[in-house]
Amino acid sequence: MTTVGQVNLFNPILKNIDRTETKRYAGMGRSIHFPESIISEACSIVMLEKHIKTVWTMYEYDCISGCINGDYKIASKELLKHLSCSKRVILMAATVGEGVEVASKKYFEQGEYALGLLIDAAATAAVEQAANALCTMLTAQFINQGITLTARFSPGYGDWSLEEQEKVAPLAHVTSIGVNLTNAKMLIPRKSITAVAGLQTVTGEDNEMGCSQCTQKDCIMRRVK
């Protein structure tokens, strides 16, 4: 039985790296194109070098005041709306470790810029897959209680400032998976993320928070239909 404030570790196993997402993070589909063989090589390198870890903690949430755990007040209108039906939230973090960064840097230094770029993109896809795997596990865990998990929402999404990472990272217990925060509010290893998701009673309503709902219309990572 999960209790409020309990730190929980979960290490998902990825069977592959999402090639479509790798291409998107590399900026392909506009004016940039890479051979499929290099994309495959980059994904294979990330599969070898990744060291995936995730952590999650459940907190009480006051949807009226917008406070998590009684002291952190959310400074984002979009996130407040996203969590408007939640009484508890999950703070989470995921990382694929620093090995992928070392690999990407090595190829850049050797002048193999395309491969270095694609390794970086594949690592981004991998950490997103890790976070998705965590959310899938959590959804399955809570559904028997008649509770569903909203889509995850990270600092830097919409109007939730990346500056909030300083307050979110401790709540997400990032250090328990080897992640730290720099003075510039960046997570190290770089291929790491934090996020919040709400727990709410199953209603059948769509509570997706994706590119179609995000206000950052000029984001280069925006998914298009």
Tens digit of each residue's pLDDT (9 = 90 or more) over 99-158: 999 999 999 999 999 999 999 999 999 999 999 999 999 999 999 999 999 999 999 999
Cross-strand pairs, 82:
none
Tens digit of each residue's pLDDT (9 = 90 or more) over 27-61: 876 667 889 999 999 999 999 999 999 999 999 99
* Sole residue written with tokens 């190829």: 107
Extents of the domains making up the chain: 7-201
Tens digit of each residue's pLDDT (9 = 90 or more) over 196-222: 999 999 875 544 444 444 444 444 334
Tens digit of each residue's pLDDT (9 = 90 or more) over 157-166: 999 999 999 9
In CATH, 7-201 is 3.30.1490.20: no
* Burial (0-12, 13-18, 19+ Cβ within 10 Å), 91: buried
Single-letter residue type at 54: T
Model pLDDT, residue 204: 53
pLDDT over 60 (residue 83):
yes
**Distance of alpha carbon 21 from alpha carbon 121, whole angstroms:** 8
